[in-house]
Chains A and B, each alone.
Chain A
């Protein structure tokens, strides 16, 4: 099993969600995060006061999938989150040791 973490542009969330639904991904965790990479922060100035955006608002998606699904999911996220511009985000794939469903105690594949 793998965990796929993707940091994407906020307005791309619906597209990514839809794309993942299409290939049968049932669940995901979403968080509102902030950060920066090559797309730096910037500032806006209004009447002399600076409003600095140090960390740019992004959305983080986390999905746990069977290893066999990883390539498909990564590709779906990559294409659906792509605008071709800077700051489109990154995708991380991490190993997952175990998954346990709280309600039933099911483990592994069954619990995804």
Chain B
């Protein structure tokens, strides 16, 4: 009775599943056997069955799909075919009820079909799923001749007639599946069945071999020459492991589940007995192993298909015409081979040369060649891998243009890359357990190199346009590519800060390869700082000039910055969609251009600038008496602007700090010093910054007849303005003290709004206006520059000097609602060059055309207005 049989099956399955461990192959065979037993019992004890036979329509029960291949995992579907000699009788329904329904009740997913032989043939012609299921058909019980008939029917009428079509159909379906399931081997949650390197890849191999050679078992793959004995062993090992994982995953999930979801990974790693090693968590070790086996499976499929396409000779015409430059290497069936393995021990350089040809011809190594490379890799000893010729060859590979076949990939998969760069070993199949890094570290590193090289190809998107341009501007991309290859090499070890560790490892490795110290420094700098730009761009205020200056000072050189940017972009692109999207791209590019601007101007971040500033800081700190004072100074350095630190002498900085300490809660403090020899006065003003401060000071000086020779203003980040005015001494030097005192009062009044400077000045000018008439009038000029700085609009005014000029201009700026951040006022005889770094009151550059022309007009008005007055006089 099926009911009883199903209960027995249920118990047996439960026992089998609960004892699941060790060899999955045995499990699947036993599992399959249990199902077979069930159907055999059913067949014999069926109540409905005999009725059907009496009607002279014998039937057989056939296992399809995975059940047919005896690969029945814990919760795999049971694919079943009730095969009838003639048209399916009405009683088939009852038969299904009797045999299949009890299985549903015990929790098995049964997919069944009832067809006649004719119908099977018909559906196989149109439906690839049905066709492949039939390819795996296996007789379970019933009328065995029916099964034989079905199989020969399929073979004669379908397979023989259109085997080529069927194969290309299978290949296409497989490619589509890969596309749909992505690069599963590298996704964080690999799909063991459908993904790249999943079981379906193996099925595809098996189906094709079945079509071509009618193989019966997996072992036949070797007997029919599709795989070498070694390869077959590796294949079996990989499959057994994947099945093993799949069985446990099914049991853990309690259902058919082929995607290794993150939630199951820790438990699974524990069940499968993975431990923490070399800084890898158990999950990372497990994912690494899975990745490795799936990669292998996928490689076998690719190799299989590759050799297949050359057997039929239909796909590629290359081959006989191509000649390698080296007679010991040859191209056969579209892949590169050693002409004879005997030549290798005598000429170990061949082990490198074969990859060189691989890059040149864009052809893969044959399976045989890879095997030979592996076997002879002992020849690549220490002196070999650091010999000049080998290093040169490797460099050439590294720089070869990006193509379909990546020679570095071939090197990695044949194990030779690890031989060349022993430190690479630590990152092979190194999987990172997070949802950020999609690829294992070794693949990722090669991907970065490839991405970098692709920058050189013409592309459309604007991101790549900039990258392409920068890439081409490099004198040689060699150092950048080395850095790309090695940037994550530190991830092989345990602990944090892989960048720093990577730089140390790379330094040793590159020194062994005989590179010059200067070049090694460049590469190591890139490796150590490969996360620097992206961190700053996302974690600091990129609209603050400080951030850009800080970054520029660390990087110091334009070329280094460009390389670092390219490395950052390539690294992010190759990490995964979470690390790179349009948003991040915009942020990073914006920041990069700002830093680049600063470095290209060279003013604030050149080597000299950095040195000068550091020296000054030291000198200033040296002046501090106590530890506490030194600490306070350090804090103050952080608020001083880069320009201030660069352009003020250490001595001045010390005295400015003293002045700043006197300010307390006041509006401003000032200090007047006599400039020795010249007899002029230096006025240093420290004040709470506010819009219009500068113009008021300038106005007060003019009002008091103090001619301004030049001026500088700096703004600290704690809202303190430091203004330095170089002025002619008062005419009446007897009462100089009083004069300064009055000026101070004026400024106080002007700042508190009790003095209308504009009005006061106008009256004063009336009195003085015909003072200085000039014979020659040089034209004045106002230049507004929005390109030189990413953070300020720079206004340059060229004019001849006249009293009240500076007040006039700065007051005009104030009326345009502009804040002056930096100013350099210089007077040469009667010619004035004024430079102002301004922003609007919101802190933004003023770059709309309207604003620019408005400013131009207002300042011109000031210049011409005064001229007009003078001329009129």
Contact = CB atoms under 8 A, between A and B. Distances in A.
Interface of A: 9-11, 14, 32-34, 38-40, 42-47, 49, 51, 53, 57, 83, 85-87
Q: Which of A34, A38, A43 has the most CB of B within 10 A?
A: A43
A45 B596 contact: no
B593 interface: yes
Given A38-B842, A45-B787, A9 B541 contact: yes
B539 A11 contact: yes
8 contacts: A9-B541, A32-B584, A43-B847, A44-B590, A44-B790, A51-B590, A51-B593, A87-B543
A59 B533 CA distance: 19
B589 interface: yes
B244 to A, nearest CB: 32
Given A44-B593, A46-B596, A34 B583 contact: yes
Nearest to B594: A44
Interface of B: 462, 465-466, 469, 538-544, 581, 583-584, 586-587, 589-590, 593-594, 596-597, 787, 790, 842-845, 847
B844 A39 contact: yes
Contact of A57 (B539, B583, B597, B787): B583
A85 B542 CA distance: 12
Contacts, number: 58
Given A11-B540, A57-B586, A44 B581 contact: no
A18 B787 CA distance: 38
A53 B590 contact: yes
Given A51-B466, A51-B593, 7 more contacts: A10-B587, A11-B539, A11-B541, A32-B583, A44-B590, A53-B590, A86-B844
Contacts of A11: 538-542
Contacts of A83: 541
Nearest to B841: A86
Contacts of B540: 11
A47 B469 contact: yes
Contacts of A40: 844
B219 to A, nearest CB: 48
Given A10-B538, A44-B593, A34 B586 contact: yes
Contacts of A42: 790, 844-845, 847
A89 to B, nearest CB: 13
Nearest to A39: B844
Contacts of A49: 465-466, 469
Q: Which of B540, B544, B583, B787 has the most CB of A within 10 A?
A: B583
A10 B540 CA distance: 8
A75 to B, nearest CB: 22
A42 to B, nearest CB: 6
Nearest to A34: B583
Contacts of A86: 842-844
Given A32-B583, A34-B583, A51-B466, A39 B842 contact: yes
A18 to B, nearest CB: 13
A43 B590 CA distance: 8
A14 B539 CA distance: 9
A45 B465 CA distance: 14
A57 B586 CA distance: 7
Nearest to A38: B842
A85 B593 CA distance: 21
A90 to B, nearest CB: 15
A46 B583 contact: no
A11 B584 CA distance: 12
A51 to B, nearest CB: 6
B466 A46 contact: yes
B589 A51 contact: yes
Contacts of B594: 44
Contacts of B589: 51
A26 B341 CA distance: 65
Nearest to A45: B787
Nearest to B587: A57
Contacts of B787: 45
B470 to A, nearest CB: 9
Contacts of B790: 42, 44
A34 B590 CA distance: 14
A86 B590 CA distance: 17
A108 B619 CA distance: 64
A111 B346 CA distance: 74
Nearest to B586: A57
